[in-house]
Amino acid sequence: MTTPRLAPHRQSQTNKKKRGWKLPTLIVIVVALFAAYLYGQNYYSYDSSMDRAIKVLDSRSADKYSQNLTWSDTDKKLTKSEVSPLVKYIKTGATKSDIERMLKSSAYNVQVKKTGNRFLVFPKYQIVVTPINLKVYTNHSGLKVTANDETIIKDSDDDEAAIVKHQAPGYYEFEAKGDVDGDTYKGTDTEVVANKSNAEINLYAYKTSSSSSSSSSKSKLTKSDADALLTNMSSLLSKVGAKDSSSYSSDVTASDVFVDGSSNKAYTDFTEMISNNKTKSKRTAESINFGPIDVQDVKSTGKKTADVTFKIKEDFNYSSDTDPDKHTSGTLTQTFLLKAHVKYDKDESKWLVDSIDSDQKKLSDSDNVK
């Protein structure tokens, strides 16, 4: 009996065909994944993240800032209102190099930092903002205080500072204004706030108008009058000691404070001290602030003369820009007890500083430069 011949089994050829296209497909997938990995490594790298961050800040756009800036403590995005001070600061003239230096340093409270990972394998870098608490001092109670046109204090207290929490670093324009005992007071200050978790703002309001008669001022200098005069002096000196003309705003002139205006020896002594510390000292100060004033005693020495004993605080502010080797920054704060000799100017109908004793007494010295 003849055994029938079976037809060739074709299933094995089909399997071979299936196995034949799996390997190229697998290679394509592996290559694609590897290319994606290389792209991700480059896109999410520190250098690429830094380039994107610089473009964001250089846009000077509150919209882009609020979309990309994150609080360091909450991991939440900043609002348009919250980024306003930083936008103002960048708009004052920061270059791309300035922005890059800012983002690479911890000295400005805004920095590119690694905060986690993306897709498990790539680093996650974000523009992180460290919040600052503003400690605002005023020399009069009952004033409304604004920062960049937003109310931060409705009713100031001259006995204690008001704490304004969780603010972004940047450029702040402060104003204190209000009526006290029938007199109108107003004070302004401009500050670049950064490089700290707490910032002290000394806002000095001086009398701009009065409903009371000036006849009493002719016969006797009151403690309130002395405080107003010396507060004007501290505002004037802070303007002289500012980083630049746009960093501090004050309408007070030397003629508003001193006998003979800018020729007065007390005034020239102050300005010379400021100039030496800003230009000639071994470590130059970026700016010097004066105040607040604390009047200790007012003593009449004649019909139109008086002596005023007062405390004054002087802040010498140092930035890393003035110390390129160590990159230190901070504030040296000193408090002095001084005596001013003042006289009443009949023609100007106001009290003016005639001289200040040179034998000043240093009461305190605090240095947080690091």
Q: Which residues have C-beta within 8 Å of that of residue 87, sequence separation ≥ 6?
A: 60, 61, 62, 65, 170
The larger pLDDT score, comparing residue 326 to residue 62, is at 62
Q: Average model confidence (pLDDT) for the chain?
A: 86
Q: Does 218 score more than 70 pLDDT? A: no
Q: Does 214 score more than 50 pLDDT? A: no
Give the full edge-to-edge strand order of the sheet including 122-129: 69-71, 122-129, 110-118
Give the mean model confidence (pLDDT) for residues 66-70: 96
Q: CA-CA distance, 339 to 244, in Å (whole number)?
A: 29
Contact between 132 and 167 (Cβ < 8 Å)? yes
The pLDDT tens digits of the residues spanning 189-209 come to 888 898 778 888 888 888 887
pLDDT of residue 9: 52
DSSP class of residue 76 equals P
| 68, 70, 84, 167, 325 from 79: Cα distances, Å | 10, 10, 9, 11, 36
Q: Does 215 score more than 50 pLDDT? A: no
Give the mean model confidence (pLDDT) for residues 44-58: 94
Predicted structure pTM score:
0.56
Q: Does 54 score more than 90 pLDDT? A: yes
Q: CA-CA distance, 109 to 78, in Å (whole number)?
A: 14
The pLDDT tens digits of the residues spanning 286-303 come to 899 998 899 999 998 888
Q: Residue 102, by phi and psi: left (phi above 0), alpha (psi -120 to 50) or beta?
A: alpha
pLDDT of residue 160: 82
Burial readout 236-258 (b: 16 or more C-beta within 10 A, e: otherwise):
bbbbbbbbeeebbbbebebbbbb
